[in-house]
Amino acid sequence: MINIVLFGKPGAGKGTQAEFLKSKYQLFHVSTGDLFRHHISNKTNLGQLAQSYMSNGDLVPDQVTIDMLKDAVDTNADAKGFIFDGFPRTTKQAEALDDFLSEKSMEISATLALEANEDVLMERLVTRGKISGRVDDQNEEKIRKRFEEYNNKTALLRDFYTAQGKFHSVNGFGSVDEITKRLTALIDCMI
Ligand code: B4P
Query: Smallest Cα–Cα separation from 70: which of 16, 62, 38?
Result: 62
pLDDT reported for residue 133: 86
* Per-residue pLDDT tens over the stretch 157-186: 999 999 999 999 999 999 999 999 999 999
Tell me the backbone φ, ψ of residue 135, rounded to 5 degrees: -60, -30
Distance between CA atoms of residues 152 and 159, nearest Å = 13
Q: What is the DSSP letter of 58?
A: P
pLDDT reported for residue 162: 98
* Per-residue pLDDT tens over the stretch 80-103: 999 999 999 999 999 999 999 999
pLDDT reported for residue 135: 86
37 flagged as catalytic: no
* Per-residue pLDDT tens over the stretch 116-169: 999 999 999 999 999 998 889 989 999 999 999 999 999 999 999 999 999 999
pTM: 0.95
Torsion of CA 57, 60, 61, 64, to 10 degrees: 180
- How far does residue 11's CA lie from ligand 1's centre (Å)? 4
Q: Whose CA is nearest to atom 15 of ligand 1?
A: 15
pLDDT reported for residue 191: 79
Q: Which atom of ligand 1 lies nearest, measured to the CA of 179?
A: 49
187 confidence band (pLDDT: 50, 70, 90): very high
Question: Is residue 52 predicted with pLDDT exceeding 90?
Answer: yes
- How far does residue 119's CA lie from ligand 1's centre (Å)? 15
Q: Which atom of ligand 1 lies nearest, measured to the CA of 87?
A: 30
Buried b (16+ CB within 10 A) or exposed e, 65-75: bbebbeebbee
The alpha-helical segments, DSSP class H, found in 76-175 are 91-103, 118-132, 140-149, 157-163
146 flagged as catalytic: yes
